[in-house]
């Protein structure tokens, strides 16, 4: 069996300084055996998501390289942005793509954490499949309190870093790294500038649902003193209301397992929920890249005759149905992981 391919999607807390972003990208490009697939920067989020693939050793080397460069260049004491974050190099996930395993990605994440924690002297947390405790499996748990709350959080026994020092480093914050399945960052825009409307929809669809409150608006607690929740419609889905721009509210989502919760199911449900609020869906937005099979699944839903359609036709139907071509041209050869890498990954 050929040596497998690993995807790495590091998130940096910098979306405005093009020179800094370019230097981080160059630190990846110099590593032999790695292909840089996508660089997605947002000024409002002040965040850049980079995607690259390659052989395991090369991906680890590139991840270490770009993390060191990000820690060197980004100053969290001057950072502000819409997206939740806790560090200059906020999160570095490793993802099995082809002929590679989750166990292999866990090992790579552990090596990365040890190297960066020791050499750069910043706190590192292992999450998802690399987590060493159940509380650290979910990234939002680790990020809770964000950068501003890290100074106090890191002193708590339950939040001792997995690698690196147990201290607050103002310039760099902390970094999370781990191994996970392919995550699809998919957002849907609404024809309103009211973020609360997007939040309402997010609460009805996300796995965690919403808090249950009494008539006075107080949280209702269970027998253990924890707030009760009404679960959302879908599994393996994170969602929240954001602002795409000053005039457009957005349901921002992470699909943790597209095999269980497909993009087309989410799109159609948000259309229904939006209609209840006299709103319309105006566009879909994909952040980063997407696996081919995810679009094929949605294409089978939207195509009028999926059994006789080619893969290309199914992809086109998915792009149309998911409204991925409304905000900008959707370049299939750059946005689909397998096609962008120009390799046989299926």
Helix (H, G, I), strand (E, B) or coil at 171: coil
**HSE of 88 in the Cβ direction (CA atoms, 13 Å)?**
26
113-136: b or e for each residue (b if 16 or more CB lie within 10 Å)? bebbbeebebbbbbbbbbbeeeeb
Query: Which residues, listed in sequence order, are joined to residue 95 by a DSSP beta bridge?
Result: 7
> For helices 18-29 and 56-73, what crossing angle results, to 10°?
150
Do 44 and 243 meet the contact criterion of CB atoms below 8 Å apart? Answer: yes
The CA–CA distances, whole Å, from 70 to 18, 148, 299 equal 13, 19, 38
Structure tokens at 311: 């893969």
Do 314 and 296 meet the contact criterion of CB atoms below 8 Å apart? Answer: yes
Cα angle for residues 278, 322, 230 (degrees, 5° grid) = 55
Q: Which residue has the tokens 């566009």?
A: 283
Q: Is 83 a catalytic residue?
A: yes
Catalytic residue among 79, 83, 264, 303: 83
From 242, 247, 294, 244, select the one nearest 266 (Cα to Cα): 294
Classify strands 89-98 and 175-179 as parallel, antiparallel or unpaired: parallel
**HSE of 85 in the Cβ direction (CA atoms, 13 Å)?**
26
Residues 6+ apart with CB under 8 A from 167: 123, 154
Strand order in the sheet with 184-190: 237-245, 248-255, 184-190, 281-287
For the annotated catalytic residues, the residue numbers are 83
């Amino acid at each position: 069996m050929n040596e497998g391919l690993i995807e790495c999607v590091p998130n940096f807390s910098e979306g405005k300084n093009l020179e800094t972003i370019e230097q981080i990208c160059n630190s990846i490009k110099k590593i032999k055996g790695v292909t840089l697939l996508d660089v997605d920067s947002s000024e409002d989020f002040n965040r850049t998501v980079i995607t690259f693939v390659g052989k395991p050793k090369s991906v680890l080397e590139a991840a270490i390289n770009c993390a060191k460069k990000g820690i060197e260049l980004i100053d969290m004491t001057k950072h502000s942005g819409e997206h939740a974050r806790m560090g200059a190099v906020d999160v570095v996930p490793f993802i099995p793509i082809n002929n590679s395993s989750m166990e292999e990605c866990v090992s790579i994440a552990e090596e990365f954490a040890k190297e960066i924690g020791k050499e750069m002297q910043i706190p590192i947390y292992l999450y998802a499949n690399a987590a060493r405790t159940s509380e650290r499996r979910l990234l939002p748990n680790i990020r809770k309190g964000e950068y501003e709350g890290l100074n106090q959080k890191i002193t708590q026994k339950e939040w001792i870093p997995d690698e690196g020092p147990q201290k607050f480093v103002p310039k760099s914050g902390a970094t999370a790294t781990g191994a996970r399945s392919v995550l699809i960052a998919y957002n849907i825009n609404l024809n309103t500038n009211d973020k609360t409307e997007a939040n309402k929809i997010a609460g009805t669809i996300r796995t965690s649902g919403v808090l249950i409150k009494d008539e006075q608006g107080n949280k209702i607690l269970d027998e253990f003193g924890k707030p009760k929740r009404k679960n959302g419609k879908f599994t393996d889905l994170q969602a929240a209301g954001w602002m795409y721009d000053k005039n457009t509210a957005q349901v921002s989502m992470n699909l943790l397992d597209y095999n269980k919760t497909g993009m087309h199911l989410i799109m159609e449900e948000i259309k229904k929920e939006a209609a209840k609020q006299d709103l319309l869906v105006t566009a879909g937005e994909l952040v980063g890249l997407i696996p081919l099979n995810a679009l094929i699944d949605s294409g089978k839903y939207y195509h009028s005759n999926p059994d006789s359609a080619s893969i290309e036709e199914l992809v086109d139907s998915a792009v149309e149905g998911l409204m991925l071509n409304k905000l900008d041209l959707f370049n299939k050869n750059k946005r689909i992981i397998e096609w962008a890498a120009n390799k046989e990954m299926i």
